[in-house]
Amino acid sequence: MTGPLPSFFDIPRDELTALVASWDFRSVHAARLWAYVYNSGAARYADMPELPARFRARLETEISLVLPRVAAETHSADGFTRKYLLALGDDRRIETVLMRFTGRVTACISSQAGCAMDCVFCATGQMGFARQLTPGEIVAQVIHIDRVLRPPAAGHRSLGDPRNPSPHARRERLRNVVLMGMGEPLHNYEAVMRAVDILRDQNGPAISARRITLSTVGVIPGIVRLADEARPIHLAVSLHAATQAERAALVPVAARWPLDALLEACCYYVKKQQRRIFFEWALIAGRNDTPEQAHAVGRLLHGLSAQVNLIPLNPTTGYDGVPSDRAAARHFQEILAEYDLPSTVRQRRGLDIAAGCGQLATASR
Ligand code: SF4
């Protein structure tokens, strides 16, 4: 054997079916394998008795079912957030977060090990770029969180009768995914979109496109490409400032993709996709939370189908800005409303375990 086996989580269902056919096994076996992994949570071929032994033996030599190893796990004191440090096959580390809100659970997943975008307030940016994640490494984070929520039944033996689902199938499924963890998703476009398509498979992870949100710092070619493709996920653009100079100071890639061109790409996206766009705004006290900034963003986005999500800055050791208080956030919202711009102030989660937006980083590698 040379090198590691390809990961199951890298392979879309149609490609798996074709691969299985190329080994002279029937498509029903590929469908059952897919259901075992994504619907029953089976983690070993040995736990798939409805597959022929010969097929299972072939799988053992061709495709790996291994998920990243959990190197560390931390829980927030309020019990709403769990953060996982995952070790990839080459021992690179990434972080993935499970967040509970009223009535829903969300997985915040990473798209790169580290990040090259260098946003000044972000712990991931401060650690630099290590490498791109593969589609399977992106999908595997979602499957890890899903299995935390729905641990596979012990001694699992059968795919079961859909009218009498197993305890695993009856447990709460993960339905919301945000690509807001480590990395810039549009800087790893091909892998991210392949992962998104696997996650959307209705016979597989079955995450609705409308429950997937991709956050970008403003990679214009990726926004335009996303606008041109039929993949109805939500797009959130990290704006943080309403003037080019101020934005470039917070988000260095603004020098490459300036604010006016970014706004043009956002308008194109809204027009082409007929979908509202979200703008993220990390509220930094005395820096970008002033009435002048609120009026500036109101003027900038007025008339665009948009919503502004305000997030009081999450502290990191490498940046000395402090979060805005509630009064400043409320006043900012009131000014946005004057421009017919809907806005929310995001619930912050997991700050005590450094699991908030912009706080993800790995101590090693
Ligand atoms: S905020 Fe996002 S894009 Fe910016 S450095 Fe952090 S991970 Fe990268």
Task: Report which DSSP code applies to 73.
Answer: E
Tokens of 290: 């002033």
CB of 217 sitting under 6 A from ligand 1: yes
Domain map (residue ranges) of the chain: 8-62, 69-353
Classify the phi-psi angles of 243: left when phi > 0, otherwise alpha if psi is within -120 to 50, otherwise beta.
Answer: beta
In this prediction, residues 243-270 reach a mean pLDDT of 96
How far, in Å, from the CA of 127 to the mean position of ligand 1? Answer: 10
Residue 164 burial class via C-beta count within 10 angstroms: exposed 0-12, middle 13-18, buried 19 and up: exposed
Question: In this model, does residue 185 exceed pLDDT 80?
Answer: yes
Contact of 355 with 83, CB cutoff 8 Å: yes
Instruction: Give the DSSP H or E segment for 333.
Output: helix 326-338
Question: Can you give the pLDDT at residue 363?
Answer: 57
Task: Report the range of poorest mean pLDDT among 270-279, 291-300, 339-348.
Answer: 339-348
Dist. CA 208 → ligand 1 center (Å)? 25
SS3 101: strand
| pLDDT band, residue 365 (cuts 50/70/90) | very low
Per the prediction, the chain carries an average pLDDT of 92
Partners of 176 in the β-ladder:
106
Query: Is it the case that residue 347 has pLDDT exceeding 90?
Result: no
Residue 20 has pLDDT above 60, yes or no: yes
Task: Please report the pLDDT score of residue 2 as a whole number.
Answer: 62
Helix (H, G, I), strand (E, B) or coil at 43: coil
The correct CATH number of 69-353 out of 3.20.20.70, 3.30.450.40, 1.20.1640.10, 3.40.50.300 is 3.20.20.70
Q: Is pLDDT of 156 > 80?
A: no
Q: How confident is the model at residue 157 (pLDDT cuts 50, 70, 90)?
A: low
Of the listed 115, 119, 266, 357, which one is catalytic? 357
Contact 228, 272 (CB under 8 A): yes
pTM across the whole model: 0.94
Q: Higher model confidence: residue 159 or residue 110?
A: 110
359: pLDDT strictly greater than 60 = yes
Residue linked to tokens 């009535």: 103
Let me know if 357 is a catalytic residue.
Answer: yes
163: pLDDT strictly greater than 70: no
Give buried/exposed letters for 84-109 (b at 16+ CB in 10 A, else e): bbbbbeeebbbbbbbbbeeeebbbbb
Contact 212, 249 (CB under 8 A): no
pLDDT(348) > 90: no
Residues 6+ apart with CB under 8 A from 365: 91, 92, 93, 113, 130
What pLDDT, in 10s, does the model give residues 315-343? 888 899 999 999 999 999 999 999 999 99
Q: Does residue 119 have an active-site annotation?
A: no
Buried b / exposed e along 180-211 (16+ C-beta atoms within 10 A): bbbbbbbbbbebbbbbbbbbbeeebbebeeeb
Q: Is the pLDDT score of 364 beyond 50?
A: no
- Pairing outcome for strands 112-114 and 129-132: antiparallel
pLDDT in tens, 21-65: 999 999 999 999 999 999 999 999 999 999 999 999 999 999 999
**Annotated active-site residue in 62, 95, 108, 229:** 95
> What confidence score (pLDDT) does residue 318 get?
85
Q: Please check the confidence at residue 165 and state whether its pLDDT lies above 70.
A: no
Question: CATH topology for 8-62?
Answer: DNA polymerase; domain 1 (1.10.150)
Q: Which two tokens stand for residue 225?
A: 């490409």
Query: What's the average model confidence in pLDDT over 138-164?
Result: 80
Has residue 352 got a pLDDT over 90? Answer: no
Q: pLDDT above 90 covers what percent of the chain?
A: 82
**The pLDDT of residue 162:** 58
Average pLDDT for 126-130:
91
Taking alpha carbons only, the member of 335, 247, 326, 240 closest to residue 292 is 335
117 lines ligand 1 (CB under 6 A): yes
pLDDT at 5 over 80: yes
Task: Give percent above pLDDT 70 in the chain.
Answer: 94
User: Nearest to residue 242, comparing CAs of 257, 260, 256, 224?
Assistant: 260
Return the ligand 1 atom nearest residue 126 CA.
5
